[in-house]
C-alpha cells in the first residue's frame, strides 16, 4: 500500500502535488486541512481524494505530513501539529524554497523525520501545472530517512531532484529571484529608457526582445562569461560613465540601478577575458 499522506494547507502548491501523488499512487491522500472547511472541500475535489477536516485534531495519523503553507506560517503550523498529533516515526516536510527543513524543529523534537522539497516553478494555474509537472526541478534537503521516502514519491510524479545545502537555503531561493523577478525589473528599466528616448511602447518591446532573448539563449548555451557583450565587456568605461550620467539625470533610481550593475558586470568581464 502507498504511504498515507495528510495535507496541512492545500492552496495552489498543496492541491497540485496532492493531485499528482493521488493520481500516480505515490501517496494515498488521506486528510486535508486548509484555512476554511469550504476550501478544504474544494481542494479534495481538485485532488480527487482525501477527507476535508476542520482542525488538526480531526486528522488521522499518517506516515507523511505535507505542510503546504506560507513561509512564515511553517514553524507555527508545525508547532501546532506537533502539539496535537503523535508524530514519532512519521515524516513532516514543507515545500518552501526560502526556509530550510530546520523550520520543522517542533516535529523533529517529537521524533519525526523532517525535510523540505521545493518545486522550482510557478503554481499560478494548478490545472496547467498538474498536467505538465514532469521534468520540474525540485530542491531537496533534510533527514536521509525522510528523503528516502520523499525522493521516490516525487520522482514518481515526474520531478527532477537536486540536493541543496540547507545552510544556504536563503541564497538558493535568492537565485530564483535573480533569474526571474529581477530579470523582469531590469527589462522594465530598458523599456522605460526606450520610452524616454521617444520610442513607442510596442516598438520598445520589439527592440528589446531579440537582445534579451539572444542574451538568455547564449547564457544557457555557452555560459555567462562568453555571453557577455557591450561596453563593460569591451572595457569602454567612458561610454558607461556617459550612460550612467544620462540615466541619473533622467531618472535617479534607474541611474542607481545601472550603477549597481557595473561592478558585478565588470567582474564577469574579467572572468570572460581570463577564459581560454
Q: Where are the domains of the chain?
A: 4-166, 180-274
- The residue with cell 527589462 is 187
Residues near 246 by beta carbon (within 8 Å), at least 6 away in sequence:
none
Query: What is residue 204's predicted lDDT score, i.e. its pLDDT?
Result: 98
Same fold, 4-166 and 180-274: no
Residues near 253 by beta carbon (within 8 Å), at least 6 away in sequence:
none
Residue 30 has pLDDT above 70, yes or no: yes
What pLDDT digit, counting tens, does each position of 73-121 carry?
A: 999 999 999 999 999 999 999 999 999 999 999 999 999 999 999 999 9
- The residue with cell 555567462 is 224
CB 81 within 8 A of CB 105: no
What pLDDT digit, counting tens, does each position of 134-191 carry?
A: 999 999 999 999 999 999 999 999 999 999 999 999 999 999 999 999 999 999 999 9
CB 164 within 8 A of CB 141: yes
CA distances from 239 to 192, 245, 255 (A): 20, 10, 14
DSSP letters of 73-116?
A: GHHHHHHHHHHHS--TT-EEEE--SSS-GGGGHHHHHTT-EEEE
We find that the CATH architecture of domain 180-274 is Orthogonal Bundle (1.10)
φ, ψ of residue 59 to 5 degrees: the values are -80, 145
What pLDDT digit, counting tens, does each position of 232-264 carry?
A: 999 999 999 999 999 999 999 999 999 999 999
Please give, one letter per residue, the 3-state secondary structure of 122-168: CCCCHHHHHHCCCCCEEEEEECHHHHHHHHHHHHHCCCEEEECCHHH
CB 47 within 8 A of CB 32: yes
Residue 275 has pLDDT above 80, yes or no: no
Residue 274 has pLDDT above 90, yes or no: no
CB 115 within 8 A of CB 138: no
Write the Ramachandran bin of 24: left for phi over 0, alpha for psi from -120 to 50, otherwise beta.
Answer: alpha
CA gyration radius, the chain: 23
Residue 195 has pLDDT above 80, yes or no: yes
Of 129, 64, 126, 119, nearest to 95 by C-alpha is 119
Query: What is residue 10's predicted lDDT score, i.e. its pLDDT?
Result: 95
Going by pLDDT thresholds of 50, 70 and 90, the confidence category of residue 1 is: confident
Query: What is residue 276's predicted lDDT score, i.e. its pLDDT?
Result: 65
Count how many residues are written for the chain: 276
| 4-166 CATH pick, 3.40.630.30, 3.40.50.300, 3.50.50.60, 3.40.50.720 | 3.40.50.720
CA separation for the pair 16, 22 (Å, rounded) = 10
Amino acid at each position: 500500500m502507498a504511504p498515507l499522506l495528510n495535507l496541512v494547507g492545500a492552496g495552489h502548491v498543496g492541491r497540485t502535488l496532492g493531485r499528482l501523488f493521488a493520481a500516480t499512487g505515490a501517496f494515498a491522500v488521506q486528510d486535508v486541512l486548509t484555512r476554511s472547511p469550504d476550501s478544504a472541500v474544494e481542494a479534495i475535489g481538485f485532488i480527487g481524494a482525501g477527507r476535508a477536516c476542520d482542525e488538526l485534531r480531526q486528522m488521522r495519523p499518517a506516515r507523511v505530513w505535507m505542510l503546504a503553507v506560507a513561509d512564515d506560517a511553517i514553524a507555527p503550523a508545525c508547532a501546532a501539529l506537533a502539539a496535537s498529533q503523535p508524530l514519532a516515526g512519521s515524516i513532516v516536510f514543507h515545500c518552501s524554497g526560502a526556509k530550510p527543513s530546520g523550520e520543522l524543529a517542533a516535529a523533529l523534537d517529537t521524533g519525526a523525520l523532517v525535510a523540505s522539497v521545493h518545486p522550482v516553478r510557478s503554481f499560478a494555474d494548478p490545472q496547467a501545472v498538474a498536467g505538465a509537472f514532469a521534468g520540474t526541478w525540485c530542491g531537496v534537503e533534510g533527514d536521509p530517512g525522510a528523503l528516502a521516502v520523499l525522493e521516490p514519491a516525487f520522482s514518481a510524479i515526474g520531478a527532477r531532484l537536486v540536493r541543496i545545502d540547507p545552510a544556504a537555503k536563503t541564497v538558493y531561493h535568492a537565485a530564483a529571484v535573480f533569474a526571474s523577478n529581477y530579470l523582469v525589473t531590469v527589462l522594465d528599466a530598458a523599456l522605460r529608457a526606450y520610452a524616454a528616448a521617444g520610442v513607442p511602447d510596442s516598438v520598445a518591446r520589439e527592440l528589446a526582445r531579440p537582445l534579451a532573448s539572444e542574451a538568455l539563449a547564449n547564457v544557457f548555451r555557452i555560459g555567462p562569461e562568453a555571453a557577455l557583450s557591450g561596453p563593460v565587456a569591451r572595457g569602454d568605461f567612458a561610454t558607461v560613465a556617459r550612460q550612467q550620467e544620462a540615466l541619473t539625470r533622467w531618472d535617479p533610481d534607474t541611474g542607481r540601478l545601472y550603477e549597481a550593475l557595473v561592478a558585478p558586470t565588470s567582474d564577469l568581464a574579467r572572468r570572460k577575458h581570463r577564459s581560454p
